[in-house]
Each structure stands twice: as structure tokens, then as C-alpha cells.
Structure 1
Amino acid sequence: MSTTTVETAVQSSLQSLPIQQPYSAPITGNANDATAQAPADATVQSPQAAQTKQQPHSAAPISDGPYPYEHLLPHFSDVKYPPLTPFEHADPGLRALAHPNPRAFLDAATHVSELTPNLGTEIHGVDLAALDDNARDQVALEVAKRGLLVFRDQQAYIDKGPDFWLEWGRHFGRLHIHPTSGHPAGYPEIHLVYKDAHASFNFHIDDSTTSTVWHSDVSYERQPPGLTTFFLLASPATGGDTLFTSQVSTLAALSAPFVAFLRTLKAVHSGAEQAAFSAAGRRGGVVRRAPVESVHPVVRRHPVTRQEALYVNRQFTRRIVGLKREESENILRFLYEHIERAGDCQARVRWAPGTVVLWDNRVTAHSAIVDYHASGERRHGARIAPQAERPIPALDGLQLDG
């Protein structure tokens, strides 16, 4: 695998953090050409095998009695992983298009309602744990179309546990392993979010007036996640909601000449700051894989719906390729502020026991809301994030390499 190391200075605690450039291959506007095979000599170490030499630490349970999900508390192992290799993604939503009734999985629903006209659907009565492969394909198509599905009363799904969650996730793509976050012991593919009054790796955004940080998950990867599954094992009595926005809608709100210009642009997304944050001793203190930077189109095309979506976010997008610094900064600042203030493109998910949320990470952005500090209550969530295709430029012929 061809790699290049460059110096970063994103934090004084990590002034020489290497940036691992993943293997890359040219991309075209055709969805079938948006993937690349790894070199013949590329290998990926088994995370389970690599963990034989780890020195883990985990979150201690809070002292209010036995916690039923103690075995799923965050575990931070300092095992080192090799760079991710490219793979060919086959979107299950494409298979559902050939089904005579691609929404047949909703036949069992007792209630279906839209969260907003353009983003999000809330569904009652469908048992995710009982869906066969055809129904899962249909779910993938519906997520692609609506951006966000909120399934209520899914305790049966949650109770099936981590082996089932991984089997579920693999149906939708190769499972992503986060380079810095906590995971249940033995299950590195499950990204955990955890906060309580006592956990030593809690962190606060002390230098910001808000906890709201809009982002698309790990957009710095060459092939970021697509259909993403998230649910809470424990949640505060009130608060801890999640905000979502449709990047299809945020793009559609812009003028046609400006969108035409944005289609010609590509931007750098970086994982360096996230790695530096962890290496500085925050949120677990581990960096298991060298951080990467990837170049993605500013406007991408969904491989199933063919819809165009804005693809920048304040957390991971760093600069627009080919523009001068001031030009890049001002365009990105405008786009970030547009995404953040466009309430007419947004939906808010209020969590309830047994809720499982699916979103398409390619065409949405989201932010947690950390508004429950005073209560000291536990918020413990699990995310399964299958990777998808390398982002497809909306503009045919836009070259992401070179």
C-alpha cells in the first residue's frame, strides 16, 4: 500500500501526528466506478487477534445499583490497526428497487408519520429484529429516500445484543472501526457514546457557548459510512436529543448559479484533530489508527436515489482544494452557517426507551445536544456504521485524485 506521512500541528500535545494517506484510485461520475480494489499485497489485521496484547481500561459503572449494560460499557484498548483498504460497496437499496413493492416492510406498521416534509419518518409496529434480507434492503431504500427513520418500541432488537447488531450492520456494508472511540470489550466495530457524572473520560466543550457540533460521521475516511444505526441503552429522563439536517434540502435552498459553482469544488476532510483530541488524554486517550485526510466532492450524488447533497461539515472539513485560503474559509463559513441555521431543513429526534434510529450519513448531518449536565444521568448509546462508496461527485468527470 502506498502511504505518505505529513506533519500536523493541530494541538501542542500532538505536534508530530502522522497523517496516513489511504490508497486511492481515480473516480468517475458513474456509481459503478466509484470504488477501487485494494492492491494485491494489501492486508488487514484482525482486530480481535490484535487485541491479545492490549492494555484496556473501561468506564466504571455509576453507583446507583447494578447496571444491566455494564458489559457494554466503553472499553479503550490501545491496539494499533492498519490503514483501511478500499473495497467495492454494493448498496442494498439498489436491490430493493427491483422489488415489486419496495415498501413492503411497512405492511406491519401500526403507525407511520413524517417528522418533516423532507426529512425523517417515525415508524411504530415494525420489528427490526425480525426482518429478513429482502426487508432489510427495503429499509435501506427508505432510509436513502427519507434520510432518517425513527423506529419505536425496538427493545427486542436491542436485547439481541452485539453479535446480532454486527450481523445487522454487515448487511449494509463493511463495518467501520473507529480509530479513537470506546467500544464494548471484544466488539471494536461498535462505537459507543457514554456520559455520566463519574466517568473519567467525560469531556465538555468548555470554550464554546454550545454543545451543538454539526457533522457527518467520520467523513475523513475515503469511504465514509452510509446507512448508520444508533440506539440508546440508557438515557436521561429529559434532554439528550439529536438534531438532524437534510443535506439534500440545504443544497436545494441555494441559488442555481452557486450550486453550479459548488459542484466544481472538492474539499479536504481530516481526522487529525479528532486523533489529537484523544491523544491529549481526552475521551479515552487512544489513537488506534493513523489519522487520514481524504478529498471529497463538495456536492455528492447518492448512488440509489441519484439526489445531490451538500457534503461539508464544520467538524471534519478543512479546506477547499484549489482556492486561496480566504476564498476557502469564507465559502466554508457560509456553508457551515447555512447548514446550522436552516431550521426548515432539520428534524429533532427525542429519545424514548427502545428507540432505534437509522440515517443515511451520505445525505444528512447531525449533532448531539448535551443539555443534561446538571442531572448527572447516564446517556449510553451504540452506533453501527457500515462504510459505503467513495463519495460520487455530482459533477460528472470531477477528479478527486491529483
Structure 2
Amino acid sequence: MATTTATVSEVTPSLRLRPRNDEEAKAIEEYRYSHLLPHFSQDRYPPLQPFDHVDPGHRALTLPNPRAFLDGATRTAELTPRLGTEVTGINLAELDSSGRDQLALEVARRGLVVFRDQQDFIDRGPDFYREWGRHFGRLHIHPTSGHPAGYPEVHLVYRDANSTFNFEIDESVTTTSWHSDVSYELQPPGLTTFFLLSSPDTGGDTLFTSQVSTLRRLSPQFIAFLRTLKAVHSGFEQADFSRSGRRGATVRREPVEHIHPVVRRHPVTGEEALYVNKQFTRRIVGLKREESETILKFLFDHIDKSADNQARVKWRPHTVVLWDNRITAHTAIVDFKETGERRHGARITPQAERPIPALDGLDLNA
């Protein structure tokens, strides 16, 4: 949907969308989701504390039919053999607690599930978004991104003709930047919900890749070696990006870095998945610099180039996408800059457990 855009002042950390003239002010006022435009508060938060997480997918495993929530669907179709399912005919907003548990299990098994025709879900607003997300885990407050005023738990992505509040590196020859959201946290996200409130007529798709499949394509000997490794994931570069005056010039919580296994095990399905990403993984612990860089470059290239492990989501109005950050990576495609259209998305990001090493006994504290 093409939209009239409004500019954004990048002068103060308390940023809101600010019109340059009366025409842009009217465009903002008339925009259906103007109450969900990016806001950058002055709030500061202490370090995140560990918590016990029980994945709701565990409860669904005990049910006679853990896919009963799909019984009313008018259509389900696999996006690819390895990753992704598209569903129509189900109203996510009406799922009860058991239905949400089943949904968590389905996303864990397929990695990615795309629900069409979800205007009811999207239009229920940020109070509902928080209630929805809390079913799946403790809600993450992003340290640097914009959020709707008063709702820091709702992470926003935003770009229009005059501004962007995304973590984008302009010096690259490509806009793809594979990552698993905030993997630098001690307890990174599990099931994540994302939708676009406004999108360009064409472009702005999202690519996903199965980290289960990228791992399986490697040789058994190499996988056995990777299971012995752990890597540092860092949020410092993202924080520095904001401190430089970009994105919103706000860092609400001091950046952290944590050590995670290079191969992790899903707590519900038991599947093993590669767990490195170019955006946040910095080095492999215990290896010399050249060794670490060589292995990570190979893995990053493998993730980037393995189109046979990937699925592409083309956004249509009222689409809601859920993925499991533990077993997938993703990247937005910023191929619509020249059109000046708005791409405005909201993400609900529950945290999960500390990544479980695929290799029993791997010490993540050393």
C-alpha cells in the first residue's frame, strides 16, 4: 500500500515523527496507525536479570492433537519443504491458551508460520500485543529501537522517504543482513510475532533461513567439531550505531555480550540448529583470530548463499508472521528506497531459555 510519508527529526533522543509542513501533519493525523509511530523515550533500564522459562510448546506435546488449532483453517500450504507454512482462515486473536500453546509447537516444528487476513489481530492494539506476547515468555524491551509511546515492549521498524530507524549499514553492496534477533542477550528470543502496519506496493520482503537445515547440510565430522565450539554475541556495535546519532540516538540499557553454543538444541523438539549470525556473532572462544574468522566467514557465507534452505515472505496487508529465533535467521530486503514508500512494522519479542548446547557438558561460563 503506497503511503504519503512524513519526515522525522533526528535532533533529540525524545524523537517522534514530526511533520515539516501542514500537508505532512495532515498525512500523519490521517494515518491509521499513527498511534504506533516510533517514539524514543529518555527512559533507562537496568541490566536484564536471568529468569526461568518454560516453553508453552511443551504443554502442546501432551495433547491428543497438538495441531487442533488449525482445524478451522481454509488453507495451509508449506512455503518450502524445509521451512515455513502459510495459513488462511484462522483468527490468531481468538486463540485460547491451548491454541497458543499449539501454535508455539507448530512454529518450533516449522520454524516459520505466516498467517494471512489478520486485521483483527493487528487492530486490537498494543495492550493486546503485550498480552499476546506474554503467553510465550518475558517480553524483551529493545535497548535502542523505537516503540509506540508508552509501550516499550513493542519493537518498531520504520523507513519512509525521509528517515529510517532501522539498524542498517549503508556502506554494504547489499541490504541483506542475516541475524537472529538480539542474540547477544543471555536469554535470546524464542517465538516472535511480527507484522507490517504499512508496506510498499512491492518490495520490502523478508527472507528466512532454517538454521536446522544449514547445519544438516554440513559434513558429520564438521558438525561434530562445531558442537564443541562457543561464540561471543555482542550488542556493542548496535549500541554504538545509535550513539553515533542514527536510528534514534538512544541507548536505554547498556550493551552486553554473551557466550552461546555454535550449535544449540531446541528445548521442545530436540532439533539441533546452527546458532551464529553475521550481525551479532563476533568471535569463537578459544580459537586464534585467523581460525575464528575463517570458520565464521564460512558459516556466514553458507547461511547467506544457501537459497535451498530459505523461504521468502511477500507481505500483503494484514499478514502476521511468527518464527522461532532459536532455529531460524532472517533479513529484511530494503529494495524500495527509491519509491519513498513507508514500511512500518511491529515486533513482539518474548525471551526464551539460555541457549542449550547440542553437546552435553559444554561449559558456557568459561
For the criterion TM > 0.5, the same-fold answer is: yes
Is it true that 1:60 corresponds to 2:24 in the alignment?
Answer: no
Out of 76, 101, 126, the position equivalent to 2:90 is 126
Q: 2: CA distance between counterparts of 1:205 and 1:228?
A: 24
Alpha-carbon deviation of 1:79?
1.4
For residues 45-96 of structure 1, the C-alpha deviation after alignment (integer angstroms, 9 at most, x for no partner) is: xxxxxxxxx9722123682731111111000012110000000001000000
Is it true that 1:385 corresponds to 2:313 in the alignment?
Answer: no
Give the equivalent residue in structure 2 for 1:317.
281
Q: 2: CA distance between counterparts of 1:248 and 1:341?
A: 15
With over 3 angstroms needed to count, the CA separation of the structure-2 counterparts of 1:200 and 1:386, relative to structure 1, is closer
Give the equivalent residue in structure 1 for 2:7.
none
Verify the 8 A CA contact 2:13 2:249 in the aligned structure 1.
Answer: no
Give the equivalent residue in structure 1 for 2:3.
none
Alpha-carbon deviation of 1:204?
5.6
Q: 2: CA distance between counterparts of 1:274 and 1:137?
A: 33
Three-state SS of the structure 2 residue aligned to 1:205 is: coil
Give the equivalent residue in structure 2 for 1:342.
306
Q: 1: CA distance between counterparts of 2:342 and 2:301?
A: 31
Verify the 8 A CA contact 1:215 1:316 in the aligned structure 2.
Answer: yes
Q: Return the letter of the residue paired with 1:279.
A: R
Give the equivalent residue in structure 2 for 1:10.
none
Verify the 8 A CA contact 1:121 1:146 in the aligned structure 2.
Answer: yes
Is it true that 1:85 corresponds to 2:49 in the alignment?
Answer: yes
Alpha-carbon deviation of 1:199?
3.1
Three-state SS of the structure 2 residue aligned to 1:223 is: coil
With over 3 angstroms needed to count, the CA separation of the structure-2 counterparts of 1:196 and 1:130, relative to structure 1, is same
For residues 36-115 of structure 1, the aligned pairs below 5 Å read: 56-60=14-18, 63=24, 65=27, 66-115=30-79
For residues 312-338 of structure 1, the C-alpha deviation after alignment (integer angstroms, 9 at most, x for no partner) is: 000000000000000000000000000
With over 3 angstroms needed to count, the CA separation of the structure-2 counterparts of 1:323 and 1:76, relative to structure 1, is same
Number of matched pairs: 349
Is it true that 1:215 corresponds to 2:196 in the alignment?
Answer: no
Out of 72, 93, 116, the position equivalent to 2:80 is 116
What are the ranges of 5 or more consecutive residues in structure 1 without an aligned counterpart?
A: 1-53
Q: Return the letter of the residue paired with 1:380.
A: H
Q: 2: CA distance between counterparts of 1:282 and 1:59?
A: 15
Alpha-carbon deviation of 1:205?
3.3
Alpha-carbon deviation of 1:198?
2.4
Is it true that 1:257 corresponds to 2:221 in the alignment?
Answer: yes
Verify the 8 A CA contact 1:144 1:305 in the aligned structure 2.
Answer: yes
Verify the 8 A CA contact 2:145 2:166 in the aligned structure 1.
Answer: no
Alpha-carbon deviation of 1:374?
1.1
What are the ranges of 5 or more consecutive residues in structure 2 without an aligned counterpart?
A: 1-11
Q: 2: CA distance between counterparts of 1:382 and 1:127?
A: 18
Verify the 8 A CA contact 1:60 1:199 in the aligned structure 2.
Answer: no
Verify the 8 A CA contact 2:107 2:323 in the aligned structure 1.
Answer: yes
Alpha-carbon deviation of 1:202?
6.7
Verify the 8 A CA contact 1:59 1:199 in the aligned structure 2.
Answer: no
Q: Return the letter of the residue paired with 1:220.
A: Y
Verify the 8 A CA contact 2:157 2:165 in the aligned structure 1.
Answer: no
Give the equivalent residue in structure 2 for 1:4.
none
For residues 215-270 of structure 1, the C-alpha deviation after alignment (integer angstroms, 9 at most, x for no partner) is: 00000000000000000000000000000000000000000000000000000000
Give the equivalent residue in structure 2 for 1:230.
194
With over 3 angstroms needed to count, the CA separation of the structure-2 counterparts of 1:265 and 1:200, relative to structure 1, is closer
Q: How many percent identity over aligned positions? A: 72
With over 3 angstroms needed to count, the CA separation of the structure-2 counterparts of 1:288 and 1:87, relative to structure 1, is same
Q: 2: CA distance between counterparts of 1:133 and 1:100?
A: 16
Verify the 8 A CA contact 1:251 1:310 in the aligned structure 2.
Answer: yes
Out of 143, 146, 151, the position equivalent to 1:182 is 146
Give the equivalent residue in structure 1 for 2:8.
none
With over 3 angstroms needed to count, the CA separation of the structure-2 counterparts of 1:162 and 1:238, relative to structure 1, is same
Give the equivalent residue in structure 1 for 2:238.
274
For residues 172-204 of structure 1, the C-alpha deviation after alignment (integer angstroms, 9 at most, x for no partner) is: 000000000000000000000000012375776
With over 3 angstroms needed to count, the CA separation of the structure-2 counterparts of 1:113 and 1:278, relative to structure 1, is same
